[in-house]
C-alpha cells in the first residue's frame, strides 16, 4: 500500500523540503514533513490510480518545495533571507580565510587573526543573508580556534617532543579547520539564496 | 482528483499572495466551523475558490501554527480506505477568533470598497 515511499519523486520532494527548512526548529520541521507525507499517502489512497503520473500530480498541487519551505519559514517569523552583494560576502569570507596566514605572523599574528575573525562574525550577524541558526553555528565554528589552538598546544607540550615550531604550525592548521567549514557553509548558503533571487526576478 | 479544480500555479502575483496572507487563516477556521476536516479534504475545499487556491503544501505550516496557537486541534482517525486521516477541529479559542474576524470583516470590506470606488461615497 505504502510502496510509494520508495517513489524517487516523493523521496526527492521531501528531501528538498527538508534541506530548505534546515533553519526551522526540529519539531516544527518534523511536523511539516510528516504532514506532507501524510498528505501524499491520503491523496494517493483516494486516487483511483497510484502510478507515477498520479504522484507527479499530487506533488504538483503541493507546490514547489521552495514555496512550501518559504511558507514554513515565514510562519516561524523568519524574514525571507535576502541576498547581499557578492562583493560583501567575499570580503566577509575572505577575512575568515585570511585569519590563518595572519595568525602565523610573529608576535602580532594571533591578535590580527582574532581581529579578522571578530570582524567577520560581526559582518555575518549584520547580514540578512543568513538565518539565525546559520549565524549561531558559524559563530561557534569561527571562534573555536580560541579554545582549540591552546588545547592542542597543551596536548602537544605533554608529549615527549614538546612544543616545536612544526607542532605549533600543525596545531594552528588543525584549529583552523572549523572556521574553513564555517566559510564553506556560509558560501554555499549565500550562493543558494542568490540563485533563488535570480529565479524570482526572472 | 476532482477535474476542473482551480490550478495550483504558485506563480500568482504578489498582490494576490499578500491579500491571501491576511485572510487565509480565517477562511481555514471558517471551513472548520461546521465540523472536523482532514488535510486533503480541507485543501480541496479551499481550492474550489480560485482566489484562495495556492500551493497546497504552503497550507500545512499555517495549520501547524493554528494548532500551536491553540486555535485548532488535531487527532487521527482510522479510515476504511487507506491510511488514517489527521483531522483538524476548532477549539473554543479558534471559534472566538473566527467570530471576531466575522464581526470585523464587513466594516473592513466596506472601507476598502470605499477607497477603491471614490464615486460610491455614502
What pLDDT is attached to residue A31? 95
Quick check: A202 pLDDT over 50?
A: no
A139, A123 contact by CB (below 8 A)? no
pLDDT confidence of residue A35: 95
For chain B, the domains span 14-120
B55 CB contacts (<8 Å, ≥6 apart)? A61, A62, A63, A64, A67, A68, A71, B8, B10
Residue A153 has pLDDT above 90, yes or no: no
Q: Which of A108-112, A157-161, A182-186, A197-201 has the lowest mean pLDDT?
A: A197-201
* Chain B residue whose CA is closest to A54: B1
Using DSSP, state whether B72 is helix, strand or coil: strand
Q: How confident is the model at residue A82 (pLDDT cuts 50, 70, 90)?
A: low
Residue A93 pLDDT grade (very low, low, confident, very high; cuts 50, 70, 90): confident
The CATH code for residues B14-120 is: 1.10.10.10
Q: In this structure, are strands B72-77 and B37-38 parallel, antiparallel, or unpaired?
A: unpaired
Is A57 within 8 Å of chain B by CB? yes
Of B99, B122, B94, the residue nearest B110 (C-alpha)? B122
| Mean pLDDT value across chain A | 82
Grid coordinates standing for A126? 549584520
Give me the pLDDT at residue A163, please.
66
Residue A45 touches partner B, C-beta closer than 8 Å: yes
Residue A43: pLDDT band with limits 50, 70, 90: very high
Cα atoms found within 13 Å of the Cα of residue A132, Cβ hemisphere only: 7
The verdict on a CB contact (< 8 Å) between B58 and A28 is no
pLDDT, residue A5, reads 53
Q: Are A112 and A102 in contact (CB under 8 A)?
A: yes
Q: Give me the mean pLDDT over the A193-199 stretch.
A: 62
Q: In what order do the strands lie in the sheet with B72-77?
A: B37-38, B85-90, B72-77
Q: By three-state DSSP, how is residue B90 classified?
A: strand
Q: What is the mean pLDDT of residues A19-32?
A: 89
What are the φ/ψ torsions at residue B76 (nearest 5 degrees)? -95, 140
CB < 8 Å to A74, chain B:
61
A2 contacts on B by Cβ (under 8 Å) = 83
Length of chain B: 122
Å between B93 CA and nearest CA of chain A:
19
Least Cα distance to A10 among A49, A45, A73, A57 occurs for A57
Contacts of A47 in chain B (CB under 8 A): 1
Q: Give CA–CA dist A60/A192, Å, rounded.
A: 22
Nearest-angstrom CA–CA distance, A190 and A166? 36
CB under 8 Å to A109, separation ≥6 — which residues?
A: A102, A103
122 residues of chain B, pLDDT tens digit each: 333 333 344 446 778 878 888 899 999 999 999 999 999 999 999 888 877 778 889 999 999 999 999 999 999 999 888 899 999 999 999 999 999 999 999 999 999 999 998 775 55
Phi/psi of residue B7, nearest 5 degrees: -75, 145
- How sure is the predictor about A113, in pLDDT bands with cuts at 50, 70 and 90? confident
pLDDT of residue A68: 93
Contact across the interface for A72 and B65, Cβ inside 8 Å = no
More confident residue, B118 or A16: A16
CA atoms A37, A53, B55, A81: torsion sign: positive
Subunit contact A2:B83, Cβ cutoff 8 A: yes
Crossing angle of helices B39-47 and B59-68, in 10° steps, is 120
ipTM above 0.90, yes or no: no
Q: What is the mean pLDDT of residues A70-74?
A: 88
- Nearest Cα neighbor of A85 from A193, A199, A202 is A193
| Burial annotation A169-186 (CB, 10 A radius, 16+ → b, else e) | eebbeebbebbeebbeeb
Q: Do A39 and B40 touch (CB under 8 A)?
A: yes
pLDDT value of position B6? 38
**pLDDT score, position A160:** 61
Q: Do A63 and B82 touch (CB under 8 A)?
A: no
Amino acid at each position: 500500500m505504502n510502496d510509494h515511499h520508495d517513489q524517487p519523486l516523493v523521496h526527492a520532494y521531501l528531501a528538498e523540503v527538508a534541506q530548505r527548512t534546515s533553519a526551522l526548529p526540529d519539531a516544527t520541521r518534523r511536523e511539516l514533513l510528516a504532514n506532507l507525507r501524510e498528505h501524499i499517502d491520503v491523496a494517493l489512497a483516494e486516487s483511483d490510480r497510484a502510478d507515477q503520473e498520479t504522484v507527479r500530480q499530487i506533488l504538483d498541487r503541493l507546490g514547489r518545495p521552495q514555496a512550501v519551505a518559504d511558507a514554513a519559514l515565514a510562519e516561524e517569523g523568519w524574514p525571507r533571507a535576502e541576498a547581499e552583494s557578492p562583493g560583501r560576502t567575499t570580503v566577509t569570507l575572505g577575512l575568515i580565510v585570511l585569519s590563518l596566514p595572519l595568525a602565523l605572523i610573529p608576535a602580532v599574528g594571533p591578535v590580527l587573526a582574532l581581529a579578522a575573525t571578530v570582524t567577520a562574525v560581526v559582518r555575518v550577524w549584520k547580514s540578512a543573508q543568513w538565518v539565525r541558526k546559520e549565524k549561531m553555528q558559524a559563530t561557534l565554528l569561527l571562534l573555536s580556534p580560541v579554545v582549540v589552538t591552546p588545547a592542542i598546544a597543551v596536548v602537544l607540550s605533554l608529549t615527549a617532543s614538546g612544543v616545536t615550531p612544526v607542532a605549533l604550525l600543525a596545531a594552528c592548521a588543525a584549529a583552523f579547520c572549523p572556521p574553513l567549514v564555517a566559510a564553506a557553509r556560509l558560501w554555499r548558503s549565500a550562493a543558494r539564496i542568490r540563485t533563488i533571487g535570480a529565479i524570482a526576478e526572472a | 482528483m476532482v477535474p476542473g479544480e482551480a490550478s495550483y500555479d504558485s506563480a500568482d502575483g504578489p498582490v494576490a499572495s499578500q491579500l491571501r496572507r491576511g485572510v487565509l487563516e480565517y477562511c481555514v477556521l471558517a471551513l472548520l466551523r461546521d465540523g472536523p476536516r482532514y488535510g486533503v479534504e480541507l485543501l480541496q475545499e479551499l481550492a474550489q475558490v480560485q482566489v484562495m487556491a495556492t500551493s497546497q503544501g504552503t497550507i500545512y505550516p499555517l495549520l501547524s501554527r493554528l494548532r500551536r496557537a491553540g486555535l485548532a486541534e488535531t487527532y487521527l482517525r482510522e479510515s476504511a480506505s487507506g491510511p488514517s486521516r489527521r483531522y483538524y477541529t476548532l477549539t473554543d479559542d479558534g471559534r472566538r477568533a473566527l467570530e471576531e474576524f466575522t464581526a470585523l470583516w464587513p466594516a473592513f470590506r466596506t472601507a476598502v470598497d470605499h477607497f477603491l470606488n471614490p464615486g460610491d461615497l455614502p
